Amino acid sequence: MKKQTTKTKIWLTVFCVFAMVIVGVCWHFKVAEKIVSSAEAWKLDSGELSLHAINVGSGDALVVILPDRKTMLIDTGDNGEYKTTKKYYSEVLKLGKTLDYLVITHPHSDHFGEGTELLADYDFGEIFLPFVDSINSADDEANNGGKLPVAGGTAGANSKSYGAFIGAVYAEQTKITYLDDAAPILGDGYTITFWTPNVEYVRDHIDGSNPNPNDISAMMTIEYKNKVFVLTGDATGDDEAAFMSAVPENFFNGKDVYLKVAHHGSNTEKSNGAAFLNFIKPKYAMISAGKKDKKDYGLPSEAAVSRIEAVGAVVFATLNNGNIVFEVSPNGTFAYYLGEAVDVSGAYIGLIVVLGLSILYIWLGKTARITRSALFR
């Protein structure tokens, strides 16, 4: 009987150890998936283009790796997210310390909040800024030789954090281009166009006592291999209307369109309007939104997502899918890669602890009643 009990303990121990190994391996790949899948997307042959939406929670942080290996960062994420974005830049994209372009679509902190820390670590060849001034104008003026991006109001840029960011931009002594006057970027088979806002539109929308920065959010396209990425920042209905007026009527004809959804999938301020969506008719769409967006603002909005899906688009969101990557190969093939947003580490650790305690329980003799024949017959 003692021999049978010992064998039972050995078999149960082997079973628990095997289960712990399986759980451990699953935990490793599940936790790492959000980086591994995106890293696979970036390990491209020469001539491929990829757009990365980093899972920064509530905010936008996009990276474009262009076919000639130039790099464009579009927005930075909010304060407190730099650890996430920096890890993605260095470990997944393996970016060097000198990058080509930084675009800030509009002066809201969830789009420029990590800009100051970013500029402390990376140098940029050109920085694109909204055509607005900031509360910290005295410091900005000192840093920029008296030249300020002045428009008819602060457009919500009335914050010390935006002033500090602008000061850091001027301190870089790099090329600054304001989005109202940004010329297209022509590269190796690709074209980047800044369609809105122009200076007249900016002045019309930031005058008044309560201007809305979202109204002047930059809207841009990246064309490559008969594919078009449409990038929207936090564009409102007014911005979308200006975009449709600026873009040639047949611009999207015969092209596959991929959309970065405006304003975290918002249904307010007429964002993601039916007219705009029917104008571009995206095949796939990515939404950058976090748990706070969902809890506090109901983003992504079900109504907005339904309108996007109604024009035939497949919709992904960082809230559900983690990091999202859209890529186009040199032969024009499109692919997407999704990361894992769900933090499952606690569950896996819990299972490992339970299995470990089970082994201890077995060898203390408390499970002697469980026989080998009962388990394995």
| Across 152-161, 183-192, 250-259, 276-285, least confident range | 152-161
Q: Read off the CATH number of the domain in which 205 is found.
A: 3.60.15.10
Expressed as residue numbers, the domain containing 355 is 2-25+346-376
Residue 307 lies in a domain: yes
Measured in degrees and rounded to the nearest 5, phi and psi for residue 154 equal -90, -10
Question: What does the pLDDT read at residue 134?
Answer: 46
pLDDT tier for residue 29 given thresholds of 50, 70 and 90: very low
| Across 98-102, 128-132, 175-179, least confident range | 128-132
Q: Does one domain contain both 174 and 282?
A: yes
Q: What is the DSSP string of 65-110?
A: E-TTS-EEEE----TT-HHHHHHIIIIIS---SEEEEEE--SS-HH
Q: Does one domain contain both 184 and 232?
A: yes
What pTM value is reported for the model?
A: 0.76
Q: Does one domain contain both 232 and 112?
A: yes
Q: For 247-344, where are the alpha helices, taking DSSP H only?
A: 274-280, 291-292, 302-310, 318-321
Q: Does one domain contain both 337 and 352?
A: no
Do 188 and 160 touch, CB atoms closer than 8 A? no
Give the tens place of pLDDT for each residue, 337-358.
Answer: 888 543 444 444 555 566 566 6
What total of structural domains would you count in the chain? 2
Residue 34 lies in a domain: no
236 CB neighbour count, 10 Å cutoff? 26
